[in-house]
Structure 1
Amino acid sequence: MILTDKKVAIIGAGPVGLTLARLLQQKGVDVSVYERDKDATARVWGGTLDLHQHSGQLAMQRAGLLEQYFAKSIPMGVIIADYNANVLMTKEVTSVREHANPEINRNDLRQMLLHSLQPNTVLWNRQCVDLEMQEGKWLLKFEGKPAETADLVICANGGMSKVRSFVTDAEVTDTGTFIIQADVQQPELRSPEFYRLCNGYRLMAAHEGNLLVANPKNGDLLSYGVIFKKPEDLKSIDFTDTAAVTEFLSERFKGWDAHFMELFSATSSYVSLTTKVLPLDKPWKAERPLPITLVGDAAHLMPPFAGEGVNTGLLDAVILSENLTGNQFRSIDDAICDYEDQMFVYARAAQKASLENELQMRERDFSFDQLIK
């Protein structure tokens, strides 16, 4: 095996980095994961994830974790509602499709993956600030922590990776859409009417360029996101001020039914983000000082409007791990090159679908039933 007696460093303990570590450890590879979060209890913010059969679920199957994923995930139907809180369409979960793409809480997924790894695989509170070459190895430098060495570095530290420049000069660009993510604690008590409207389903509603997607079963939270074309005056809003954001949303969604106003008023916290993309429109650097590559959002950040982001990254983990631990390649560089050739094809297709959906969703006459078939 080309990784015999080699040390692999994975930067980032998201779903892709942890899954890749699991796949490599199963083949006896010496691997460490370096994560900037303080410890394993740090909350991973965001809605649930649905893993697709031929990418995310394939990775779980190869990692020996598919049954655990099914046990921790929830098959969910979809309700399409209008801004008056009238249900327009309901997509049920059938017995045939209950394992098609069930939703899993991000924190549950992280804990499942962490428990699958050997003790001390993940080194926490490691913010990687730089890489350099030292005597034929990578020297990983961390903020306030001792440096580490590795023969191969795999960057899985998200779309805003600081060490991606060793692989590509591509830069992240805004796609023009703004998302506000939010949580409601004890939704059955704090927003009972909206909670009943969801009826255990994911709920989607759109009107005149304002979109709302809610999941009432994100652990013990109701999580939702509102989506709209990025306006010019967002800098005036303090998104750490819950009351101010609630007021902003209530005004922006003025005219929507009281169910939605109740939801905003019950919200306990908000996080805002502008959707971004890392274009795959030019080849990555062929000449690299030592073996290094990218996976997940660090490689192909895309908007979240086709559900492909994490799934594309988990497919990265499958292909790269198989290339590195099989017998078909003579060197680490050859294995990486083949992975990247494959990844450019399927990741470009995923980005294209995500961007097309994004443009469609920003139209003022958009309805979610155009996407939910």
Structure 2
Amino acid sequence: MILRDKKIAIIGAGPVGLTMAVLLQQKGADVTVYERDRNAETRVWGGTLDLHQASGQKAMAKVGLLERYYAMARPMGINIADEHGNVLFTKNITPENQYDNPEINRNHLREILLDELAVNTVVWDRNFTGMEEYKGQWLLHFENQPDSIADLVIGANGGMSKVRKYVTETQIEETGTFIIQGDIPQPEINCPEFYQWCDGKRPMVAYQGNLLVANPYNNGALTYGVIFKKPDEWTSGNIPDFQNKDQVVQFLLERFSKWDNCYQQLFRSTSFFVGLPTRIIPLDKPWKKDRILPVTLIGDAAHVMPPFAGQGVNTGLMDAVILSDNLTGGTFETIEDAIADYEQKMFIYAKEAQIQSDKNEIEMCDPGFSFTKFIR
């Protein structure tokens, strides 16, 4: 095996990085994952994930975790509603569609993947800052922590990855859409009207270019995203301070002033906000051929894209399957050849996912958009 006597470092313990680690470890590879979170119990912030049958679920099957995924994930119906709170269309869960793409909390997915790894495979509290060649290996640097060494580095640490510059000079770009994500713990107490109105389903609302998508069941919290085109005045710095909850609530109340009071209650009940400009890494230029030592990217580090086609984590899990197969399957003579083949394939399917996401983003931000077209 081309990984014999090689130390592999994966930067990032998200779903893609951990899946990659499990797949490599199952084949006997010496792999270590470095994660900036303080420990395994650190809450992974964000909405739930839905793994698609043709990609994410195939990866779960590959690592032997598909049944655990089904056991911990929640199949969820959808309520498409209007700005007045009227439900226009409902998609219910049936025996036929319950396994299509059930939603799983990010910490729960991390938990089942960690259970498959040997003890101490993940080194926590390691904020990666950079690396350099040292005596034929990578010398990895971390903030206020000891250095480590590796023969192969796999960047799986998200859209703002600091591993990326060792692979490509392509810069991340904003697409022009903005997402405000909100979090409400104990929604049955803190936001009862909206929580009951959800009726156990994910509400989706679109009105005049403003979208709202929520999930009432995210490990004891209700999480939601508000989506809209980034206002022109924000380019001059006149943007809400997302550390100031009251300021963000006031912005949302003004922007959604024509919406029903149940939505106003949602905003007022929110305890925590994050503002996220949607970003993309263009895949129109080849990556560096003259890398000092073996290094590559998977997941959002490789192909971050807006979330409007639900392809981000699913595409990343495809990366993990293909790259791990290349590195452990005996087909390639060198690590560099295995990486090159993976990257060639990834550029094709990831670019297709980005194109679909871009198409959906344009449609969803149109003032006349309706979710009904997407869900029926």
TM-score, normalised to structure 1, is 0.98
In 2, the alpha carbon distance for the partners of 1:367 and 1:298 equals 31
Aligned to 2:321: 318
Instruction: Give the counterpart of 2:346 among 338, 343, 347.
Output: 343
The DSSP-based 3-state class of the residue aligned with 1:54 is coil
The DSSP-based 3-state class of the residue aligned with 2:16 is helix
Deviation by residue 1:5-44 (Cα, 9 ceiling, x = unmatched): 1110001111100010000000010000011112212111
Aligned to 1:193: 193
Aligned to 1:243: 246
Deviation by residue 1:100-143 (Cα, 9 ceiling, x = unmatched): 10000011111111122110011111111111111111111111
Instruction: Give the counterpart of 1:289 among 292, 302, 321.
Output: 292
Deviation at 1:300, TM superposition (A): 0.2
1:9 and 2:9 are equivalent in the alignment: yes
1:55 and 2:40 are equivalent in the alignment: no
Aligned to 1:223: 223
Instruction: Give the counterpart of 1:308 among 298, 311, 325.
Output: 311
Instruction: Give the counterpart of 2:363 among 344, 360, 363.
Output: 360
The DSSP-based 3-state class of the residue aligned with 1:116 is coil
Deviation at 1:370, TM superposition (A): 2.0
In 2, the alpha carbon distance for the partners of 1:325 and 1:369 equals 44
Deviation by residue 1:207-263 (Cα, 9 ceiling, x = unmatched): 111110010111111111100000134434211111111111011000101110111
Aligned to 2:276: 273
In 2, the alpha carbon distance for the partners of 1:236 and 1:8 equals 42
**AA of the residue aligned to 2:78:** V
In 2, the alpha carbon distance for the partners of 1:125 and 1:192 equals 37
Deviation at 1:339, TM superposition (A): 0.5
In 1, the alpha carbon distance for the partners of 2:62 and 2:365 equals 38
Aligned to 2:155: 155
Aligned to 1:111: 111
Residue 236 to residue 97, structure 1, CA distance change in 2 (3 Å): closer
In 1, the alpha carbon distance for the partners of 2:59 and 2:208 equals 39
What does residue range 251-266 of structure 1 map to in structure 2 within 5 Å? 251-266=254-269
The DSSP-based 3-state class of the residue aligned with 2:213 is strand
Deviation by residue 1:340-364 (Cα, 9 ceiling, x = unmatched): 1110110000000001101111111
Deviation at 1:144, TM superposition (A): 1.2
Aligned to 1:27: 27
In 1, the alpha carbon distance for the partners of 2:198 and 2:323 equals 40
Alignment gaps of 5+ in structure 2:
none
Runs of 4+ off more than 2 Å? 232-236
**AA of the residue aligned to 1:25:** Q
**AA of the residue aligned to 2:184:** V
Aligned to 1:97: 97
In 2, the alpha carbon distance for the partners of 1:330 and 1:96 equals 44
In 1, the alpha carbon distance for the partners of 2:270 and 2:5 equals 51
In 2, the alpha carbon distance for the partners of 1:144 and 1:242 equals 31
Alignment gaps of 5+ in structure 1:
none
Aligned to 1:328: 331
Deviation by residue 1:53-82 (Cα, 9 ceiling, x = unmatched): 121111111111111111110001111000
In 2, the alpha carbon distance for the partners of 1:271 and 1:63 equals 33
1:37 and 2:37 are equivalent in the alignment: yes
1:135 and 2:135 are equivalent in the alignment: yes
The DSSP-based 3-state class of the residue aligned with 2:148 is strand
**AA of the residue aligned to 2:353:** A
Percent identical among aligned pairs is 60
How large is the RMSD of aligned CA atoms in angstroms?
A: 1.0
The DSSP-based 3-state class of the residue aligned with 1:370 is helix
Aligned to 2:169: 169
Deviation at 1:320, TM superposition (A): 0.4
- How many pairs does the alignment contain? 373
In 2, the alpha carbon distance for the partners of 1:233 and 1:294 equals 35
**AA of the residue aligned to 2:71:** A
Deviation by residue 1:130-171 (Cα, 9 ceiling, x = unmatched): 111111111111111111111100000111112211111111
**AA of the residue aligned to 1:274:** P
The DSSP-based 3-state class of the residue aligned with 1:99 is coil
Deviation at 1:203, TM superposition (A): 0.5
Residue 366 to residue 9, structure 1, CA distance change in 2 (3 Å): same
